[in-house]
Chains A and B, each alone.
Chain A
Amino acid sequence: MLDDIIIGEYIEKDSIIHNLDPRTKILVIMFFIITIFLIGSFKGYLALAGLLFVTVLLSKIKPGYIIKSIRPLLFIILFTFFIHLFMTRGGEVLWQWKFLRIEEEGLTLGSFMALRLIFLVSYTSLLTLTTSPLQLTDGIERLLNPFKRIGVPAHELAMMMTIALRFIPTLLEEAKKIMKAQQARGADFQSGSLIKKAKSLIPLLVPLFVSAFRRADELALAMESRCYRGGENRTRMNVLTLVGRDYWALGVSFLYLVGVGILF
């Protein structure tokens, strides 16, 4: 049940894309997502495919990983495609069999929507493939900084996520251990009705909960004794700085995406 879990999908490599500031990457992804929804023709997708191709090439990530990230959503992509294929009417009739009928517009709209999903998933997965979760939270905190003035607790949010990223593997490991211990005592986590399954989680949940909160207690003590005082005036070991390549990446992709959005 827990063996096939991968947290995040970060692959460490030394590439231009990996070395970009996380903020740059998040912003480019945002431009990309907006552009996808502005595009109204297949030519636009061709242009986006070019950008995707170049980014993948620069990131040194094997294309196989990108394809793998599409797999969990394959069902919905196919579903979208077929729904549009059979339901949309208009244009010439391409194929007919009893009540099933494919018309030209259906084929166009179906492939259009399916491509949109494929592009969304593959480009966003590039972000998690090339950015470690810690960098991502750091980037999110810095991007939210301007909103601190209107009361968004950016530092607390990022701190929470950093703590969580540190503890997810520990708690997972612990959950596995407890599961094995309870299974050795005859506990059954897999079968039964919904409620029965939920009830079977109690012997797992109680020790997990208690130990998690005990850890939180210890962590709070450790933070306090190291004089943690929140985000004000806190310094960092690795400060995120935008350098030349970040401005280049932002500028080039912004211009390209605006161009694609306007032209197609």
Chain B
Amino acid sequence: MNSQQIKKLAESGVSLALAVVLGFFTIYKMPQGGSVSLEMLPIIFIALRWSWKDGVMLGTAYGVMQIMFSNSIFHWAQVILDYPVAFALLGLAGIVGNLAQKDSLAEKSRIISLGVILAGSTRFIIHFLSGMIFFAEYAPEGQPVWLYSLVYNGSYMIPETIITLVVMVMLNKVLVSNYSLSQVGQEY
């Protein structure tokens, strides 16, 4: 492990803590365990700052910690799909580009927007599938299961993605304009 890798590990660890802390600031909560918060932000940030692989690793760790803390277990396969897999795929945001390699604010904002939308939609797809497979019995009679899952998961994933997008673009703007490089890390 070289110093770059150690730095990556330390940043991922602290970002994981940050994701957990941000997860506590729920803006609203769904009865079956979904909630709107900024928990995705640090994971997407790491994916965009380092690489998608690091994002996937961080997402997996976050999913495992969620199982440890939250107890929303209904089925063994549902647990794996809803936590580690759903959050791991947030890391895919990293494939749209790398923040460190872009100089202008406009370009950074564009990458962030693309990344958040990609991450949000992949996570939504996983929750949607999990809902269709494991929560079918909760769907009201007469309503198709896919519609129920679409509405339920959309009801928190869409606001969560929008909020993460807005906040992350704004955060990036403030960080770029107000903080010198040494304060936020060399490459930022």
Interface residues, chain A, with chain B CB atoms under 8 Å away: 1-2, 5, 7-8, 30, 33-34, 37, 69, 72-73, 75-76, 79-80, 83-84, 87, 113, 117, 120-121, 124-125, 128, 133, 136, 140, 153, 156-157, 159-168, 170-172, 175, 194-195, 197-199, 201-202, 205-206, 208-210, 212-217, 219-220, 223-224, 228-230
Contacts and interface: CB of A to CB of B under 8 A. Distances in A.
B18 A208 contact: yes
Given A73-B71, A160-B16, A214-B183, A168 B76 contact: no
A153 B27 contact: no
B1 A228 contact: yes
Interface of B: 1, 3, 5-7, 9-18, 20-21, 24-25, 27-28, 31-33, 36, 38, 57-58, 60-61, 64-65, 68-69, 71-76, 137-138, 140-141, 159, 162-163, 166-167, 170-171, 174-175, 178-179, 183-185
A157 B57 contact: yes
Contact of A163 (B17, B140, B159): B17
A217 B69 contact: no
B65 A117 contact: no
- Interface of chain B: mostly helix, strand, loop or mixed: helix
A121 B16 contact: no
A10 to B, nearest CB: 10
Contacts of A162: 13
Nearest to A140: B64
Top 4 closest pairs, chain A to chain B, by CB: A163-B13, A167-B17, A164-B16, A220-B10
A174 B28 CA distance: 22
| Most chain B CB within a 10 A radius of its CB, from A80, A83, A140, A198 | A198
Nearest to A69: B71
A136 B68 contact: yes
